């Protein structure tokens, strides 16, 4: 089994960008587990099935092909909201559990980001990071991202969506969003990506260095 880095945090905290940079730095595989739930939601929407149809959602999760997810169809506020609704279904989370763990087991290492990586998917991860930022800053980031894609939602609407997703993620019965007891908190409210990356790499290097000692 390789070196596993678990990166958790709420929406728009910067964990996805940070995780990609960490994986590239060490030559590890990277999985944005949020895309799995977006893909399940996309399959349901394509088949005109309700997002709260538990049996259909579970079937979609089992049928999901990780290698063939079309990321261009999974981004955007609409799919983020849909994924948040699908992710509260315990049967969907259970269906995707082993597949995420199999991904994490590959050598030389893997970086997985999501909301329950350090607490449920990889509780024995070598490094756990909990990346967060204020709701207002996360809303500003998401607003800029949506504007760059040609969408122009009101900032207040984006902020309301961020807060609603936070409440839904933290309040779900199955694998709620929370910081693992042994995770290192990384607040990126006032940090740029390079500063956040440097802080994260320092944490990982410390663990990697310690593990190599006799």
Residues belonging to the binding site are 9-17
**Parallel, antiparallel, or unpaired for β 3-8 and 127-132?**
parallel
**Burial class (CB within 10 angstroms; exposed 0-12, middle 13-18, buried 19+) of 5:** buried
Instruction: Read off the tokens for 14.
Output: 């910067």
The annotation places the binding site for ATP at: 9-17
CB atoms within 10 A of CB 156: 10
Residues β-bridged to residue 4? 110
């Amino acid at each position: 089994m390789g070196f596993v880095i678990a990166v958790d945090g709420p929406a728009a905290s910067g964990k996805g960008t940070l995780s990609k940079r960490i994986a590239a730095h060490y030559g590890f595989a990277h999985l944005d587990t949020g895309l799995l739930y977006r893909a399940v939601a996309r399959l349901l929407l394509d088949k005109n099935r309700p997002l709260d149809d538990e049996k259909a959602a579970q079937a979609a999760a089992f049928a999901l092909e990780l290698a063939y997810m079309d990321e261009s169809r999974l981004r955007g506020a609409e799919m983020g909201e849909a994924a948040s609704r699908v992710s509260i279904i315990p049967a969907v989370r259970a269906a995707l559990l082993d597949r995420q763990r199999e991904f994490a087991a590959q050598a030389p290492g893997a970086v997985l980001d999501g909301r329950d990586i350090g607490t449920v998917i990889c509780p024995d991860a070598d490094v756990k990071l909990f990346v967060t930022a204020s709701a207002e800053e996360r809303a500003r980031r998401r607003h800029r991202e949506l504007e760059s894609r040609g969408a122009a939602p009101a900032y207040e609407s984006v902020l309301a969506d961020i807060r609603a997703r936070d409440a839904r993620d933290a309040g779900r019965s199955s694998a709620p969003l929370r910081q693992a007891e042994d995770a290192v908190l990384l607040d990126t409210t006032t940090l740029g990506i390079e500063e956040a990356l440097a802080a994260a790499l320092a944490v990982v290097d410390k663990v990697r260095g310690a593990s190599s000692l006799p």
